[in-house]
Structure 1
Amino acid sequence: MSQPGWQIGLATAGISRRSARLLPAFLLAAAVTIVCSMTLLAYAVSNALQSSLTLTAAEEGASLLDLFLGPLVQELATADKLSGESVRKLDEILETRLGRRSKSIEVWLRDGTLAYSTGNKNRVGTKSAPTEINAAFLGQATAAIQGSADQKSPHPMIEVYAPLYRSGTKDIIAAGKVLNDGERLADELRDIRIKSVAIVAAITAPMMFVLFLLVRRAASIVRRHRIALKRKVAETAALALLNDKLRQEADNARLESIQSNERFLNQLGQDLHDGPIQVLTVLGLKLGELLETNDSEAPDDGRPSFADVDELLNGTLTELRDIASGLVLPELSNLSTTETLCLAIRRHEDRTGTTVKYEIESLPFCPTPLRVCLYRIVQEALNNAYQHAGGNGQRVTTSQTCNSLQVAISDSGPGTTAPPQAHKRGHHAGLGLDGVRRRVEAFNGSLDVISATNGTRVSVRIPLANSTN
């Protein structure tokens, strides 16, 4: 069954709308993905460079602390506090060029006591060492970028923690902390971030442009294929409609052929009855009159007598009447499907003098062409059962499913391989199973013939959905 054109059109329109929304959605998803990926890459590069610069600042700060503070704190190797002279010299350090970058200097003992501070002198002697001092006493120089506490200086500050060694040895006698101005580092980091973003943008822009060209080209190809597909779908829909129309015309032609054939058979039967049969009947009457006035015995010279001619004429009339009665259908227009099958069985019983067992359900009303087909099927199958099986075990059964009608005619004879029993009363030559098969196929049905030594079964299945249209 072909798909209606309007359903194909709606499906194609839905595909077109989805394809039209696919391009901007794909571009948006690709742009978001690439921008996020490149942003993360720039952030990762910036953080990596910041860590590298911070480590460099820590190493530089450690060298400066050891260079400037180391000689002034050597007395902490044997004492727990600095002398006044050492404190004075340490205070003067911020007045040198080092003071341009360093804002404060602190010196801590291993037990966490603050030994020196350029800031709040009241804190000297207290134990409030930060955790970073522990790393310094382990010989590690660390640095961290901190926000500025001074509102007038928005630049960040760099805290550097480094160990202070005894001269000429690797013994750590104290830990120093210097707070340097981070303006230059901040400027470098800002430049690095800007350059990273610029580099990423320079890489991303061509990628996005190339991706856009590829997607637009793919969308153009899809659009052309969609147009071609719509044209093909329209052609297919038109062909489907034409095919349905041709199929309907072919079905109508088959039904018309069946009806024309039945009309021809009826006319042939009527012509046989009204023509040769009537002439032969008159001839028989004339011969009867001659038999009454002449000797009916055979002449002595061996020529046929009037009695022989009369017997041959009566046999011919019987055969012609059987043929005519088989060709002419009874009036079926007012009969139901069940009554049609019963009529075929009853006429066969009257014509052959045999008995047919049947189980016929209450069948739905079928159109006249189909009822004629069922009548001919039962007539031909029962005639074959009478001819080849002598009418033994003749049986007709019907069944109905939700969408088909089944008729089975069987006998218990020796099968069609046995020699036909000619000259039986009421026998006439039928239309043949090939003719029945053509009738069944005209209604999109099927016919199966199973012949064995214990009998023959003719089974017919006709779809009601196609037959009742």
Structure 2
Amino acid sequence: MILVGALVTSLIEAIVIRNSAATTALYVDSIIAPILPDLKTSETLDDVTTRVLDETFGQGALGGRVISFRLWRRDGTILYSTEDGMRGKRFDPSEDLKSAFAGRMVAQFERVDDPESPRERALGKPLLEIYNPVLQPWSGEVVAVSEFYEVADDFQNSLSQARLQSWLAVAGVTLSFFLLLSTIVFRGSRTIESQQRTLTQRVAELSDLLSQNKALHARAQRASQRATALNESYLRRLGADLHDGPAQLVAYAALRMDSELLVDPKASRRSRDTEISAIRSRLQEAMDEIRNICTGLVLPQIESAEVSDVLQRVVNAHRQRTGADVTLSTAIPVRPLSPSAKICIYRFVQEALNNGYRHGGGTSQSVRQDYDNGNITVEVSDEGAGFDPANVRPGALGLSGLRERVESLGGTFNLDTSCHGTTVKMSLNVHEMEHA
């Protein structure tokens, strides 16, 4: 703003000074031109011309505007001056005087620094110094230069107003640009800050997702490893159940098939019937145990059933198998569950009821299902003697199987046991399972 203001102000000052000086020079030249003789042939002024000039600048129209007038010859001699003591003196031509003899009008404001102008400097008034070339009418040749000083009080006021207006205009334009640029920068800064906050939030969300993915990947790996181990354990347990149960009964029946009572013709019919009845009974027991094992391995049709129906089926199956009384409480979930979630719930309740019946005597067993804020929870409890989880052998399939089955679907498993009973609880988030 300072640089542009200084440049604009200096240009305006130069133009105003030049225009004002040109107007004054034209006015002065129109008055003195008819008075002057042919300065091409005459190197001095006669007395008549000198008196006329004295009257013109002393009493005429120029007397109030021009306080000093000089007429210069090319060699630096003053042909005429309103000061009598300056007439005929010779000075070294100044640069302004040389420029005027070259045909250019020269004007300066408040720069009275010529050696021939001590009187003008002593006045202390704002002066407009003008060098105006005097031309020969028919040839246009510069034959002399008129130098005069004009009292410039009005001109100084006009120039001060022009300076003030110039600075105000430059300052206003600069301020407008500054406000416009500030607005653009401020809006850009707010946009950048908003984008930075958004990016920071996105990075944080992505970091959280990455951490969750890593945790889920680790859980999936652990679940896969445990599922493989549990599968082998289930196979071993199934083999043990078949070996210890149906296989022993079938082996017993096979041994009894070689009994002497069956092949001895002397044996009574009654003893033979008794032996055959015993063999039939053992084979029937083996068939019953095989059916029970198959019943535990094969799920009922639960894909299209509601959660309440799934729980009712597993509770009824437990009641028929054990004769224990189980209390069931259900709440209808808002959203339907996937088949994998229904299978998980069925196996969870089946294994929990079997463990409670086997280890807790089946005392006051109950199953309760709730649904709250997208989470479905199933709780199986009894009032048995409880147990110490630290004493459970590492290879046991019950608790580890329940935990792995629930956590494989992203759910949570909790165990609470004391001398007053045992409660196992599972929870699944329906929204997360639907998203997955």
Instruction: Pick the TM interval, shorter chain.
Output: 0.3 to 0.5
TM-score w.r.t. the length of structure 2 is: 0.44
TM-score, normalised with respect to structure 1: 0.42
The structure showing larger relative contact order (alpha-carbon pairs under 8 Å, at least 6 residues apart) is: 1
Could you say which structure has the larger radius of gyration?
Answer: 2
